[in-house]
């Protein structure tokens, strides 16, 4: 079963963002957002197709 819903990697050093994005892309997300934390890190948010079971885990937990 492929990943579903939203997965977030927090506080990724700027130099490592490309690695994280490349790793997420292996599972074909519908979109990837990079949020600048203005402290030398980014949060990388990968959005996959919605979970079909409707569980709360569709959403990020923070």
Partner 1 sequence: MNIGTRSGRRGITSLLLVAWCLVLSACAPLLGYPKDPEDTDATLSALAPYFNGAKDVEYAHAPPAAKTNIRNEIIFARMRAYDITFADFEKRLYGDGNAVTLGSDLAGLILAGLTATTGNAATKSVLGAASAGVIGAKAAIDKDLYYQKTIPALLAQMEADRLQAKAPIVTGMKVPDEQYPLVQAYIDLDAYKNAGSIPSAINAVNKDAGNAKDDALDTLRTGVFVEDTSGQRLRDYLWPSGVDKPVDKAHLTNLRRWMSANLPTGVPVEALLYGPTLASKRKLAVSDLAVP
Give the alpha-carbon dihedral of 28, 15, 61, 24, to 10 degrees.
10
Given 14, 23, 33, 40, the residue binding partner 1 (CB under 8 A): 23
**Neighbouring C-beta atoms of residue 12, cutoff 10 Å:** 20
Residues 49, 35: Cα–Cα separation, whole Å: 20
* Binding residues for partner 1 restricted to 28-57, rule: CB under 8 A: 41, 46, 48, 53, 55-57
Q: In angstroms, what is the minimal distance from the CB of 33 to partner 1? A: 14
Q: Which residues bind partner 1 (CB under 8 A)?
A: 1-13, 16, 18-20, 22-24, 26-27, 41, 46, 48, 53, 55-57, 60-62
């Amino acid at each position: 079963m492929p990943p579903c819903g939203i997965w977030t990697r927090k506080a990724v050093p700027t130099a490592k963002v490309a690695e994280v994005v490349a790793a997420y892309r292996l599972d074909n997300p519908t979109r990837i957002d990079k949020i600048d934390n203005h402290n030398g890190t980014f949060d990388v948010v990968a959005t996959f197709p919605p979970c079909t079971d409707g569980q709360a885990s569709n959403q990020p937990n923070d």
